[in-house]
Amino acid sequence: MAILTTEQLAEVRRKVSSEEDLITYTKNDINDALQAIEDWWEANQAGLSSAIDTGTIFSFTNSQKKKIAKFWLQQRFSRGN
């Protein structure tokens, strides 16, 4: 399990708070949520890599898979659903 550093937590908290109209959670609440996301990602990233391998006959490198996933996530979340 990867533990987020204080600096990593603060960076994400600042980004989230810049887009929030009203903050109703505590620093500990958001830190816990961020660590839960980090834990989930660590537990499931191999499954995502396998899904990409299964979904195509092309053999993407790990670096390519990370870039594909990064931009998919950005696009997915910008859609708001």
In a domain, 1, yes or no: no
In a domain, 20, yes or no: yes
Residue-wise pLDDT tens for the chain (81 aa)? 689 999 999 999 999 999 888 899 999 999 999 999 999 999 998 999 999 999 999 999 999 999 999 999 999 988 876
What is the tally of structural domains in the chain?
1
What pLDDT is attached to residue 81?
A: 64
Residues 6+ apart with CB under 8 A from 60: 52, 53, 68
Q: What is the pTM of this model?
A: 0.80
In a domain, 18, yes or no: yes
In a domain, 72, yes or no: yes
**Structural domain of 33:** 6-78
Give one DSSP letter per residue of 60-75, joined into a string: --HHHHHHHHHHHHHH
